[in-house]
Each structure stands twice: as structure tokens, then as C-alpha cells.
Amino acid sequence: MTVYNFTAKDNLGNDVPLDTYKGKVLLIVNTATGCGFTPQYEELQNMYDELKEEGFEILDFPCNQFMNQAPGSDAEIQDFCTSKFSTTFPRFSKVDVNGENAAPVFKWLTENTVFQGFEGKMATMMKLMAKARDKDYKNNGKVKWNFTKFVIDRNGEIAARFEPTADLAAVKAKIKEVL
């Protein structure tokens, strides 16, 4: 199984087979508009601008599962991201990333990756929040918070997972390696 086996709804409600992105390196990210990590949109857009000509795409999946930090409609989220951060990468319809209603692509991503640990100045706070939500958070692949990132290689296979606190320079380095 690869990412190409899945279809997702774009932010206009259209079905998008993910094999549309066959042969590209993907960064799949669950996002939120009201999160402390929301400013990552700016760095993600910069990365996209720099690498898209090399066959790189960011697939943005808004998610409201973490403290209701993406409460808007798909249209409101699109407007916020394009007006505040000038994002141009593909945005999909809001999804769940964990639980019985998780989008199939996220079920696959979380069943085939492991938690990578929190790092940096936000690590302690993130550990406390993750533990409050899931006592066994260290030992499963569930998404722990907004802005978890999955790198997908040109064959549609998972190449890496990065937690929200990961240095975006490390994410970019991995993407460049996979490109």
C-alpha cells in the first residue's frame, strides 16, 4: 500500500485521488489556524516556493481535533491561510487524523509510523499535553498535535515523520534528500 491508494476531498469538496501526485515528494501536514504552531505556515510556504519546481508538494489537511484550533469552515480556513500567510499549496477539506472517523490516509500514516518524540523549547509542554490525551502516547503512531508532518517519497511510500516541535530545517533537509 502507498499514499496513491487514497482519495481525499479538497477544500471545495472535490475528490482528489492522491495518485494525482505520483512521482512527487509530498509533505502531508495536519494543520490548524489557531494553534501556537500556525506560524509554521510561513516557513512551509517558503519551502514550497523553493522546492516545488523540483517535484515537491505540500498537502495541507486542516484538523480540529486538538483543542478545537481549526474551528472554521473549509472556505474560512482557505481564506485565513491565503490572506495571512499567502499559501499556495493544496489544501484539503478538514479531517480527523485520529480515531474511528480518521481520514483513511491518516489511518495509514499513523499505523505505519511511530512517534518521533518532542524536541526544543516546547517539548515539556507538548509531553504534558500529549500525556493528558493519551497515557501511552510514546508507544503509538497517533498524531499528537497540529502540524505533524509526513514525508512521502516519489514512490508514494513514507520516508519520514516529524512531530510539530521538529526543526523545520531538519524537515527541509529530509525533503531535499528524498528529492
- Residues with a catalytic annotation lie at 35
Which string of b and e fits 56-72 if b means at least 16 CB within 10 Å? bbbbbbbbbbbeebbeb
Give which of 93, 57, 55 is closest to 76, Cα–Cα: 93
Q: Is 122 exposed, middle or buried (0-12, 13-18, 19+ CB in 10 A)?
A: middle
Task: Answer yes or no: are the C-beta atoms of 126 and 138 closer than 8 Å.
Answer: no
Bridge partner residues of 28 (DSSP): 59, 150
Task: Answer yes or no: are the C-beta atoms of 4 and 22 closer than 8 Å.
Answer: yes
Task: Answer yes or no: are the C-beta atoms of 60 and 81 closer than 8 Å.
Answer: yes
Residue at grid coordinates 479538497 = 10
